[in-house]
Structure 1
Amino acid sequence: MVKAQSAEAQQLLLNVEKLSQLKNILSDMKKGYMVVSNGYNAVQNIAEGNFSIHEVFLDGLMAVSPEVRKYRRVTDIVSAQKDLVREYKNALNKFSASDLFNAGEMKYLSSVYGSLAKASLDNLDELTMVITASKLRMNDEERLHSIDRIFEDAQGKLSFLRSFNQQAGLLLLQRKRAKADLETTKSLFKVN
């Protein structure tokens, strides 16, 4: 009987030791789980924080600073557009009223002016996109660079228009002189 109790006591001690080892293993597993869980949460928080930072940055690119909207080139572009429209309309009216250009020449003049006007309106559309919030993702430097590029293009179109009008005006002047010379010659020789 003592021997049976001794065997049971040894088995009980062995079971207690196994239970203690299982308890330690379970404790280690819990610590491991906590490390992994905390690590995952930390990575998730960092990722979400990083996304939030990117979101704030990208949203900031959608905003337009007051300095960009007040940039002097913006008004210069609008002014160039007004000048272009005013000058081409005046020139077209002058050339049309002169009756010294035939229908084909007037069609060509109208085509040139129409192309310039359309390209100039495209510049205004692009300018509107650049200075309007939530249209483009650009920082202030990129916006200012775009505005400068649009300004240069608008100035180029205005310079072309003025040169074109000057050449057409010279042609008109030559035709007026030729017509006056013809009238003078007709009156001298009394020809109808």
Structure 2
Amino acid sequence: MKKRIKTLLLTAIIAFGAADHCRAQSVADCIRQLALDYQKLASLKSILGQMYTGYDILSKGYRAVKDVSQGNFSLHEAFLNGLFIVNPTVRKYPRVEDIINDQAMLVSEYKTTWSAYQSSGKFSPDELSYMIGVYNNLVDATFKNLNDLAMVLGDGQLRMSDAERLGVIDRIYLDSKNELSYLRKFNDQAGRTLAQRKQAQADKQIINSLYGLNP
């Protein structure tokens, strides 16, 4: 399933890259829809699992029924099964939306800056190779964050309390903020380098023009 999400996200990113007017909001909508599709599949898996569990209990016959009637089974199971069901309040936690928006912004900003740096002609092949390595690591982290978010929001995926789910979401939120902050610092540094090299080239052209030198 994780590989499926990554494939779908890659397809979405490539599709958005084909249009220069793509904005971060449209990327966010795509990611949001993919997350919903994942949750639907997770819900279906949960339903099938519950059907199998029900059949398994019935097949065990009298002993299981007796345990339930005596309270040795139902209370414990009800509590544990409840931990599989995500409270709507958790799904509406504001940081869920923040995470999706941050991840969409990261992808959008990475694509824009990478295209500019790659086409500038001011970076060596080794420098470009280093850049794409940094970007790939950040995108991989994005896929992991979104997969973790889908898991913690999906019914029947993880046995966790609401507090534990919120704790995971908080961790993903901080990771997302740190990754976006790192991307922007990296892009700022690369942008300053690009500006300096363009200025150096312009200065050289002025000097060549003043002294009649060939470039």
Q: TM-score, normalised by structure 2?
A: 0.67
Q: Which amino acid aligns with 1:174?
A: Q
Identical aligned residues as a percent: 47
CA distance in 1, matches of 2:187, 2:67: 65
Q: Which amino acid aligns with 2:98?
A: D
CA distance in 2, matches of 1:124, 1:164: 22
* Aligned partner of residue 55 in structure 1, secondary structure: helix
Higher helix share: 1
Q: Which residue matches 2:195?
A: 173
What's the CA shift for 1:120?
1.1
Alpha-carbon deviations, 1:115-151, whole Å to 9, x = none?
Answer: 0010111000000000001000001111011101100
CA distance in 1, matches of 2:168, 2:193: 37
Alpha-carbon deviations, 1:60-93, whole Å to 9, x = none?
Answer: 0000011011111111000000100011111101
Instruction: Specify which of 72, 83, 105 is matched with residue 50 of structure 1.
Output: 72
Which segment is superposed worse, 150-159 or 89-98? 89-98
5+ long unaligned stretches in structure 2? 1-62
Q: Which residue matches 2:131?
A: 109
- What does 1:49-88 correspond to in 2, within 5 Å? 49-88=71-110
Which segment is superposed worse, 150-159 or 180-189? 180-189
CA distance in 2, matches of 1:47, 1:188: 98
CA distance in 2, matches of 1:114, 1:140: 33
- What does 1:120-159 correspond to in 2, within 5 Å? 120-159=142-181
Q: Hey, which bits of structure 1, 4+ residues long, moved more than 6 A? A: none
CA distance in 2, matches of 1:132, 1:169: 40
CA distance in 2, matches of 1:55, 1:45: 11
Q: 2:67 touches 2:73 (CA, 8 Å); kept in 1?
A: no
CA distance in 2, matches of 1:48, 1:177: 82
- Quickly say closer, same or farther: Cα 1:132–1:46, change in 2 above 3 A: closer
5+ long unaligned stretches in structure 1? 1-40
Q: Which amino acid aligns with 2:88?
A: P
Q: Which amino acid aligns with 1:101?
A: F
Q: Which residue matches 2:112?
A: 90
* Aligned partner of residue 62 in structure 1, secondary structure: coil
Bigger radius of gyration among the two: 1
